[in-house]
Amino acid sequence: MSITLSEMYKIVQPMYAICTAGKGFLGSSIRLLSASRVKLNPLVEACRMRMANHCGLIVEEGGQLKVAEMLGTGLEINPLSDYFFDEKDVIVSVRKLSFTELQIQQANNFVLTVHKTGCLKYSTVELLNFFSVNRNVPKNMYCSELCEIVANRFNKTWSHNQLGHRKEAAGIAPCEIQYGCGEKIWDRYPK
């Protein structure tokens, strides 16, 4: 089910997770390595563009809804429209957790503050080793880890697999956000 940019702006709000699938080697590799975490066939999912290999959080900045995401250059805040005019990445799912209005405001301010300070760097090592995360205030992380750490600040999680790991490890894959605890707002490929 496709969606236009104007329709997407109508359904998203701050702290919703945007899950995307990329066509490149890295996207296929992440899907291959993480599909089993959501009980899907890694060999099938690696080549399909249905399972997320990247994610970000919707934030409100200057009255506009944007995507906060960990990229190779660190935490970036980009226009949501980037995903509608990029042929490499496709939005496959939008999810939300039950944050209160105050929690949404606090989480949004936290992400914007971290972005402005420039203290958060992307971690390729963490991307390749989902299970080695063991810290409360990381300085290096990958995309889904950012989403999970923001959720953990309010005693929430995006993934059923994380419920036993709180405070111990964030090691979460983008597909765990796509198929996890969050309420489904929109799916490109409904089951």
pLDDT tens digits along 159-168: 877 655 444 4
Q: What is residue 137's predicted lDDT score, i.e. its pLDDT? A: 42
Residue 113's pLDDT is: 86
Calpha distance 30→62 (Å, rounded): 33
Question: What percent of the chain clears pLDDT 90, i.e. is strictly above it?
Answer: 52
Position 166 scores a pLDDT of 45
pTM: 0.85
Task: Return the pLDDT at 168.
Answer: 43
Which three-class secondary structure state does DSSP give residue 95? strand
* Average pLDDT, rounded, for the chain: 84
What are the residues whose beta carbons fall under 8 Å from the beta carbon of 81, sequence distance 6 or more?
5
Within a 13 Å sphere around the CA of 20, how many CA atoms are in the beta-carbon half? 25
**Nearest CA among 164, 156, 163, 162 for reference residue 183:** 156
Q: What is the pLDDT of residue 170?
A: 52
The CATH number of the structural domain formed by 5-184 is: 3.90.1720
Q: Which residues of the chain have pLDDT under 50?
A: 124-138, 165-169
